Amino acid sequence: MRASPIPPLVLASASPRRLDLLRQVGLEPAIIDPADIDETPGTGELPRAYALRMARAKLAVVRERHAGALVLAADSVVVCGRRILPKTEEEAEARDCLARLSGRRHRVLGGVAAAGPDGRVRTRLVETIVRFKRLEAAEIDAYLATGEWQGKAGGYAIQGRAAAFVAFLSGSYSNVVGLPLFETVALLKVALP
């Protein structure tokens, strides 16, 4: 009896970090097809529900374009208290995020969704706890000058210079970078025929 052929992997993300992380574990997407969706949190939407909704929504859009493929989608959400921090586009927004995170513990939620050729959607939610040291104004200014914060949830990239801000981390480091690898690989294995 012959095993079913492995369908092509489609990554529903334009994030170079997610692509790098997949390559780190030997996975090379055949297609990169980002989903363009509205990422505005719903009124009163809780962070865990939001992270999973975003991953599922991205998956749904891309899955329609690639029937028979193995599709992977993910979303990273930085949460301070119960507040979902934005993917920062403006420097003032990033400054506000860093000021909120300074000296505090926060959560990074990674919503991951995958669907194989059978169309069944499988999801995982991964939570990582991160605590920043107390940041001085000069440290925030210097970080903002790097531009690493642009388009990043919570206004920082842990794999860059913001690594110097991290006093404590509990959970998946790769989740904070953009994709929880252990859980993603397990999810993809289950989604295969």
Report the catalytic residues. Answer: 75
Residue 133's closest CA among 157, 169, 109, 159?
169
- Other Cβ atoms within 10 Å of 170 Cβ, number: 10
Quick check: helix, strand or coil at residue 140?
helix
Do the Cβ atoms of 46 and 82 come closer than 8 Å? yes
As a whole number of Å, the CA-based R_g of the chain is 17
Q: Give Cα separations from 146 to 34, 91, 125 (angstroms).
A: 26, 11, 30
